[in-house]
Each structure stands twice: as structure tokens, then as C-alpha cells.
Amino acid sequence: MTAFAPRTDAAATVAPVPMTGAAAVVRALEDAGTDTIFGYPGGAIMPVYDALPGSKIRHVLVRHEQAAALAADAYARVTGRAGVCLATSGPGATNLVTGIANAFMDSVPLIAITGQTPTPLMGTDAFQEIDTFGITMPITKHSFVVRDPADIPRIFAEAFELATSGRPGPVLIDLPKDVTQAVFPADQYAAPAGRNRAPMPTSAMIEHAMSLIEQAERPVLYIGGGVGIAGAEAALRSFQARTAIPAVATLKGLGAIPTDHPDFLGMLGMHGTRAANNAVHGSDLLICAGARFDDRATGKLDTFAPGAKIIHIDADASEISKLRNADAPLAGDMSAILDALKPAAPSIEAWRETCRANAVKWAMDYDAPGKGVFAPALLKAISERAGDSFIATCDVGQHQMWVAQHCRFSRPQAHLTSAGLGTMGYGIPAGIGALFAEPDSTVVTVTGDGSIMMNIQELATLIRYRVPLKIVLLDNAQLGMVRQWQELFFEENFSEIDLYDNPDFAELARAFGLEAFTIDHRAEVDGAIDRLFAAKGPILMHVRIDPKENVWPLVPPGASNADMMEA
């Protein structure tokens, strides 16, 4: 149980005899170890809300169902356990869809529970009836429509197992109202036992991968989000320490190796560092750990790491050789595989030195001209001030890329970003989820003036639970990333990106009850950071920045990572 609890009457659920389907739902959630769920009530899910009071589970009332799914997503990313969100049928369920898709794209274990029209009315276009099962089918790992309350224990146990095992992902459980209202004998409640999992490649496959490492002259470790998802960062760090292989990370792989590790060359890909892209391009062996050769990371695939053999380690066998053939495919448990890889250390000292020297030569420049606030320098300073307790959550746009490029991350959980789906509106709900998961961490949401409006209503949730989120709003009065693309790739034909009529964000935040202030000069930055860190409750720091600032360097869309553009 975490802090921020408005309720103090928590008590263990004692299953009534006989038991309703809704009581079985609550008990199944407790049996699965759920302590926090994010949700929003309504007609078809009311029996479950009726059963919740008195449970050990804390319910966090958000102000829009999308935020429930996104907060549960972040809660899962930080805790490593499945996040749970709850909504009613119809519009409640459709409002969850973006959050479910977000979890699907980023392989986050999420249990989405929805109310449904009573079974006799299903298929009649009844009030708030929507085919949630059908709508979410392509964006879930698995879906259930429960038709018999006696199935609830089994279905919930299976749902948690499916969501968290192998490559994690979202699972939907649709609950018709008559099923949650139905009464069944409590002695039929039987939670099924867990199952075995985690396949392991054969020793011959491990030997082959080790021989590739021993023969390599210019190996690079290419780290993806799968490392953090599997909780395999300790195994990854020991592997890197054993072999001294230079490392790069995808957007989601950041933090698996600390950002300031001397062999870490930074993020690769579209907004990656020159040192990372250069190393990958010149490598003769790529050890891909939990990444998927996504287009934002590889640029033009045909020219990605053209001379490299591939060792591909992933929980999801279907990712291996999907986009790039693997010379050594290793599907299974990430930690176990990394621990098994104990090659003789390759002779790569010269390569390692070249990579390190390039990282220094091409290091980011924080000495920007002018008196305005330089967002990269501000973000770097904030992450350094927060230290190891830092968790950044982002929205989507230029500010998201600046966070990835300039913040210091000491663990994968320190960087919560909507990578696959690119969901504007992720930042604040994710900040809420992160703080419920780790109330003692310093959670900073970095957002843009476009993105913040996508889930601005969640400022009310911050106030209700006194969630001490620190929001840094980088306001360029533009949809900045779209403007940057229009400038560079659409001949400066600026179309529908001007947000000249934004509200006064500090006033707006104060209206919700937050502490809030605005800065627009570099000279104000130190004092502003002091104020941000001194705040005990939620606070919004509104920063006006130059609307013409772009994210650099950049690989143009469709180009090779070897062809980076500079400012």
C-alpha cells in the first residue's frame, strides 16, 4: 500500500458466502497481488464498485478513463507487476482503448477490466453496449468475456499469467453486469495454480553466440526495452562488465546501463547520438538485447549495421529475425541467457577507445546563445539534481526527445515514455502511476503545450490524492515536433501548428489547486529548480522557450543512420 490514501478504512476482504461475481473479481485481484487500481465508475461496472469498499485494494479515481489505463501502464513499468485499470462499458471502454494500445506497443503488462451489458442484452445495441472484445482484439495479448461467475478465479489467474509472462502485454477482461451480480457458492472459488515458463536456448546455441563474441573486433551491445521489462538489467550490466563491449540503447532501453557509464554511447536512431549511430554503423557484431529493429532506431533498414552479424536475445521468439536475420537467435528468459553468455573476453581495446573518444568528441553542446531558457540544459540540470531517485515521464514531441537525449537515468524505470504508440497525453497519468508505485521517488513529468492539454483534467487527480508530481511544461506555443518536420521536410509550409491562443498555464494549474509559476529567462533557471524541488505537493513549472528550437542531431526519415543532420 502506498501513500496518498484518502481512504483509511482498508480491511481484508472476507469472502461472503454465497459470493457475487463482483466479490469474486475483487478477491481474484487480491489473490493476484494487486494493491492499486486506476478507474472510473459507470452503470455496467457498478457491481464491482459496490464490492470494492472494504477490500485491501486502493482504487484511484482518475478523471478520464484514458488516464486510468496510462497510469496503470506506468505503475506496471515501475513495479514490474501488472497494472490494473477499470472502466464501465461503452464510452468507458472506448476511452481505455488508447491506453491499452499504448501498453500493447510497449509490451507492458496491463489488466483492463470493463463492464459490459448483461448477457441477455448483448448484441441488441443496448444502452452503452459496445463490442469491447472486438475493438481491443488487435491491441491485446488476449481477451476474455466472462459468462459464468464461477470462471472468474481461473480467468483472472490466466489473465495475470498471460499479461506478465513471455513478452508482456495487455489483457482485457469484459464483465457483463449479470455475471458480476450473479451469486454462486463461495466454496466454488478456487484459484488455479501457476504454470511453468521461460524456455531456454540449447547449450549449442549459447556456445555459438559466445564464439561470435570471441571473434568480434567491433561489437556493440544494442539494448532495448525488453531488458527493463524482464528485470534483466543486473544480468546485462554483468555481461557488459565481463566483455567491456560498448553499448547503445533505444528510447525504451535507456537506463538499463547508467547513462554516465563510460562505455555507454547514448541512444541510437533518429534522434540518437552521433557516437551511438557511428558505432553501430561500423560494428561487426550487434548483440541485440530486448530490442526489435524498430524503424526509429534503425533508420533505413538496408543500411543499418551493414557489416554486423546479429545475436538477438528476446522473450518473444516472433521478434527474432522479423526485420533482420539473426545469426544467433536466442529466445527466452533475458537474465538466464545473459548469465549463460560467458565468452572469453574479446580483444577490443582499440575499438572501445575509439568509441569512447567519439562520445567525448561528439558530446552534446549545452552552451546555447541568447538569454532564453535552453531546454536541453534545463532538463539535464533537473535530472542531475534528482539523482538516483529520478523518474521522468514524458509526453510526445520535441520535449520527449530532449528528455531522452539529456537526462541522466540510473535504471530503466527512471524513464517512462510512450515509445511505440507515441501517445500525447501519457506524461501526467504516467506521473500519477509512477508516484503510486514509488511515493518516495522524485517524479518529473516533462510535457509540451500541445500534449498537456490531452489529459489536463488529471491535475484534479493530483490534487485529490496530493500526488507530489513535478510538472515541467516546455511551452513553445507550437506543436513543436510537427513544426520541426514541416520546417525541414515540408518546405516550411507551416500548417496548423500554431498554439498562439494557449491558456495561461500557470493560472490554469492554480485553478486546479496546484502551485505554479512561469519563467522565460535563463537567469531564472537555478531559482526555478530550487522551487521545483522544494515543493511538497504537486507543482507546475511553466517554461517559455524559443519556438524555433529544434531537436538535434537528426536522421531524416528514410535515411541511413550514417547520414545524421546537425543544426
Residues binding ligand TPP (CB under 6 A):
395-399, 422-424, 448-451, 474, 476, 478-482
Bridge-based pairing of strands 19-20 and 183-184 is antiparallel
How far the first Cα of the chain sits from its last, in Å, is 48
Amino acid at 202: T
Q: Which is nearer to ligand TPP, 270 or 424 (CB)?
A: 424
CB of 420 to ligand TPP, least distance (A): 11
Cite the active site residues: 65, 127-128, 177, 481
CB of 279 to ligand TPP, least distance (A): 28
- What is the residue whose three cell numbers read 531559482? 527
Query: What's the rounded Cα separation, in Å, for the pair 193 and 444?
Result: 39
CB of 551 to ligand TPP, least distance (A): 8
Contact criterion met (CB below 8 Å) for 55 and 14: no
CB of 267 to ligand TPP, least distance (A): 17
Q: Which is nearer to ligand TPP, 338 or 481 (CB)?
A: 481
Q: How many Å separate Cα 348 from the centre of its chain?
A: 34
CB of 423 to ligand TPP, least distance (A): 6
Contact criterion met (CB below 8 Å) for 368 and 374: yes
Q: Which is nearer to ligand TPP, 143 or 398 (CB)?
A: 398
- Give 110's strand partners: 83, 170
- Number of neighbouring beta carbons within 10 Å of residue 507: 11
- Give 498's strand partners: 478
Amino acid at 478: Q
Q: Which is nearer to ligand TPP, 272 or 480 (CB)?
A: 480
CB crowding 287-304: b at 16 or more within 10 Å, else e: bbbbbbbbebbbbbeeeb
Name the 3-class secondary structure at 160.
helix
**CA distance readout (Å), 348 to 174, 244, 302, 353:** 54, 8, 26, 9
Q: Which is nearer to ligand TPP, 246 or 425 (CB)?
A: 425
Q: Which is nearer to ligand TPP, 139 or 481 (CB)?
A: 481
Query: What's the rounded Cα separation, in Å, for the pair 511 and 479?
Result: 24
